[in-house]
């Protein structure tokens, strides 16, 4: 039994950094953010005490922020420092990446320089399957594979762009640039909701002044103390402040 009388039931799924459990309530799941950190398809991995709770707190705050902007998410509430209660969604096996500035795989794979502003933002959709290394899809493939209908695809992209505006403003007000981020969505009673997490593991964040990394790139490319950076972002995210 965890705090708030939520019973951790049978495991549903265990990913690289989170585990999912049933609860005693139908349709509600418990997401436990673990201290594991991985990169390069699991090729690099470590355990960093406190990392799970930092990502849980940031995800909870950002899901709440989206809800405040009438964007529906799976988030119900935090249960304790590192776990949250969520609605059970029928997950869509896609990773929806929104890019505001060229970085990461975009500059590795295409002839575009790091730091190039992308206006309008670029949406890239990958098929979520580690064994296939999350291959990039296009609209025709998504429709051919019957992952979504055309209306659902349009709606999902529109949501991704709205979320980008909300999150970019929120971070800008805290001296942070939202370079890019990854979302996962799920179906819920005819609607499409944001699922999974929105944390330093799934966003690329740069310090607005120094352009230094404030995300998992610090771990991927050994740029410094990743836990200190995650703490710094968490403090800024949790600080009460006006969004622009
Ligand atoms: P890139 O394609 O440049 O590696 O990643 C673009 C953005 O999506 C980054 O913010 C990155 O953290 C996020 N992202 C891409 N793939 C994954 C993934 O499999 N898991 C997580 N957590 N984030 C991802």
- Residue 11 contacts residue 21 (beta carbons within 8 Å): yes
Query: Going by C-beta distance under 8 Å and a sequence separation of 6 or more, which residues neighbour residue 166?
Result: 65, 66, 69, 71, 243
Whether residue 241 is contained in a domain is answered as no
Number of domains within the chain: 2
Domain that holds residue 153: 90-225
Number of other residues whose CB lies within 10 A of the CB of residue 62? 25
Q: What is the mean pLDDT of residues 2-26?
A: 90
CA gap 71, 161 in Å, rounded = 11
Over residues 62-77, the mean pLDDT reads 98
Closest atom of ligand 1 to CA, residue 204: 10
- Strand ranges in the chain using DSSP code E only, listed in sequence order: 11-14, 18-22, 28-33, 36-39, 44-47, 75-80, 83-87, 90-91, 94-101, 117-127, 136-137, 176-183, 185-188, 191-194, 203-207
Please say if the pLDDT value at position 4 is more than 70.
Answer: no
What would the pLDDT profile of 161-173 be if each residue is shown by its tens digit? 999 999 999 999 9
Stretch 81-96: mean pLDDT: 98
Instruction: Choose among 187, 22, 191: nearest CA to 93.
Output: 187
64 in a domain, yes or no? yes
**CA 142/CA 147 separation, integer angstroms:** 6
Q: Which two tokens stand for residue 139?
A: 């609209």
Q: Which of the residue ranges 5-19, 88-102, 108-122 would you say has the lowest mean pLDDT?
A: 5-19
User: 156 and 66 in one domain?
Assistant: no
Q: Band of the pLDDT at 5, cuts 50, 70, 90?
A: confident
Is residue 3 very low, low, confident or very high in pLDDT (cuts 50, 70, 90)? low
Ligand 1 site, residue 33, Cβ cutoff 6 A: no
> Which value, to the nearest 10 degrees, does the dihedral of the CA atoms of residues 40, 132, 186, 39 take?
-10
Ligand 1 touching residue 38 (CB < 6 A): no
Give yes or no: residues 142 and 100 share one domain: yes
- State what percent of residues in the chain have pLDDT above 70: 97
The pLDDT of residue 244 is 46
Query: What's the gap in Å between 239 CA and the centre of ligand 1?
Result: 25
Last residue of a domain, one of 70, 87, 104: 87
pLDDT band at 207 (very low <50, low <70, confident <90, very high): very high
| Percent of the chain at pLDDT exceeding 90 | 94
Q: What is the pLDDT of residues 148-157, one digit of tens each?
A: 999 999 999 9
pTM for the model stands at 0.96
Query: What integer best gives the mean pLDDT of the chain?
Result: 96
- 187 inside domain: yes
State both tokens at 27. 């349709």
pLDDT (average), residues 65-83: 98
Residue 1 lies in a domain: no
What number of other Cβ atoms are within 10 A of residue 224's Cβ?
Answer: 12
161/41: higher pLDDT: 161
Residue 98 within any structural domain of the chain: yes
Residue 71 lies in a domain: yes
Tokens 């890239």 belong to: 124
**64 CA distance to ligand 1 centroid (A)?**
22
């Amino acid at each position: 039994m965890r705090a708030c009388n939520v019973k951790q039931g049978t495991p549903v799924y265990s990913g690289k950094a989170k585990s999912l459990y049933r609860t005693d309530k139908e349709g509600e799941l418990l997401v436990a953010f673990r201290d594991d950190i991985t990169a390069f398809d699991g090729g690099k991995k470590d355990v960093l005490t406190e990392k799970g709770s930092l990502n849980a707190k940031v995800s909870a705050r950002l899901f709440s922020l989206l809800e405040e902007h009438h964007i529906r998410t799976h988030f119900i509430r935090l249960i304790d420092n590192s776990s949250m209660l969520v609605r059970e969604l029928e997950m869509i096996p896609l990773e929806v990446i929104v890019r505001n500035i060229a970085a990461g795989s975009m500059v590795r794979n295409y002839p575009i320089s790091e730091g190039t502003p992308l206006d309008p933002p670029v949406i890239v959709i990958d098929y979520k399957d580690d064994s296939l290394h999350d291959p990039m899809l296009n609209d025709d493939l998504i429709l051919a594979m019957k992952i979504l209908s055309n209306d659902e695809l349009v709606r999902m992209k529109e949501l991704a762009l709205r979320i980008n505006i909300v999150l970019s403003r929120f971070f800008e007000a805290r001296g942070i640039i939202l370079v890019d981020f990854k979302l996962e969505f799920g179906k819920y009673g005819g609607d499409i909701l944001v699922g999974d997490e929105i944390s330093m593991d799934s966003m690329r964040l740069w310090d607005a002044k120094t352009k230094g990394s404030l995300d998992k790139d610090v771990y991927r490319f050994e740029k410094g103390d990743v836990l200190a950076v995650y703490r710094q972002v968490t403090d800024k995210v949790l600080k009460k402040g006006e969004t622009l």
